[in-house]
Amino acid sequence: MMTKIKEGYKETEIGVIPEDWKVCKIDDVISFLKSGLSRKLSDTDIGIPCLRSSNIIDGRLKLDDLKYWFIEDPQGAKIEEYIVNEGDILVNFINSIAQIGKTCIFDNPAFKTIYTTNVFRIKTDSEIMDNKFFFYNTQTKSYSYQISLITKPAVNQASFTTGDFKSIKFPLPPLPEQQRIAEILSTTDSHIEKMDKTIEDYQLLKKGMMKKLLTEGIGHTEFKETEIGRIPKEWEIAKLSVIVKNRSKKYVPCDAEDFPYVALEHINQESGRLNGIGKSSESTSTKSVFYKNDVLFGKLRPYLRKYWLSDIDGVCSTEILALQPLSNPEFAFYTVQTDKFIEDVSKKAFGTKMPRTSWADIKDYLFPLPPLQEQQDIARIISVIDEKIYKLEFQKSDFVQLKKSLMEKLLTGKVRVI
């Protein structure tokens, strides 16, 4: 049975769109496309910054890990041809399957930079397509599907050709409507970016407070020098095994029962929260048992900082240590989050490609131990910051969902803004 198309709309090869919209190929709406320079880059800040595919993350340009291109280029490249301008769109065309085709829009004109060979730089024809409207179309399911069709998988890096990329199709509203749609989505993005900045500020505050409170305590005036540094006079030096013990109880799944199941992929990196939860019946492998208020710590690649203070009973992957707190669960949870603990555990991890830690490796970790009442006070202060971060992340997720809904409606013409 055919679905009746709403009046004022038409069926096209990319779906139902308004009658006054067109279908275009990328090749129809761009005025410039050029891949970047190919050469080994330097970690030193000598030369000009060079953007790589790894700098394009979640539709944004991340400048945390820059490489540099020497100005004096023996290959004779004309650097000025590769300088990124405001409004240019950067596209990953050689990358992992998860990242290939990802884009960002360059909006930092004060930052002079070029780009590497794994990236396309695109300019849209401003008389036909708004560059931000183009950018938002590269975040749609339709675009991702078309990228998957042209991508050539490889062991290390997937890729697609310039010609195939230019054949990808977009809906093309009149230019004023494109600009209005882009304006609405940009406003939503601005709210999300502001929330990200606020969350980042609170995360830095939490890290600073943890470093201070877990080494200096609250209101102390007298200190002593110890083998692990300067600590309050009333505090002791303790091993991790003083505040937690390892649960060794195992569980083999069976058809007769099902328990909440936590794997490494369910634990968000560094946030201390879950992004989901599974069922024990989904995997037949042996699992570890944990209980409410246990501290779960990912022992595979511990530098990824995967930890969670459980609020339920359940089972977890054997790649996770289930640690039973012997007194204050929150204090134990914050202890395993410290930079010093992560660094110590990571150094002792065994295995080259997939390093792991173990209870035997971490049980003798030395740290400053306050009296129980001060442990509780310290945990309470840090938990207030944690709660604020959680609320902000929850609010951000609402805006992210709003943006997805707006994109689905506005970029297909289901809702008109003319």
Residue spans of the domains in the chain: they are: 9-172, 173-223+371-418, 236-369
**pTM for the full predicted model:** 0.84
Work out the percent of the chain whose per-residue pLDDT is above 70.
Answer: 97
Confidence of residue 75 (pLDDT cuts 50, 70, 90): low
* End-to-end Cα, the chain, rounded Å: 33
Confidence of residue 87 (pLDDT cuts 50, 70, 90): very high
Is 236-369 in the same CATH topology as 173-223+371-418? no
Q: Does position 377 have pLDDT exceeding 90, yes or no?
A: yes
Section 113-136 average pLDDT: 95
Section 239-254 average pLDDT: 91
Whether 124 contacts 88, CB under 8 Å: no
Mean of all residue pLDDT scores within the chain: 92
Q: Does position 48 have pLDDT exceeding 90, yes or no?
A: no
Confidence of residue 277 (pLDDT cuts 50, 70, 90): very high
pLDDT at 73: 55
CATH topology for 9-172?
Adenine-n6-DNA-methyltransferase TaqI; Chain A, domain 2 (3.90.220)
In the CATH scheme, what is the code of domain 236-369?
A: 3.90.220.20
Q: Does position 2 have pLDDT exceeding 80, yes or no?
A: no
> Per CATH, the architecture of 173-223+371-418 is what?
Orthogonal Bundle (1.10)
Q: Does position 256 have pLDDT exceeding 70, yes or no?
A: no
Section 248-263 average pLDDT: 83
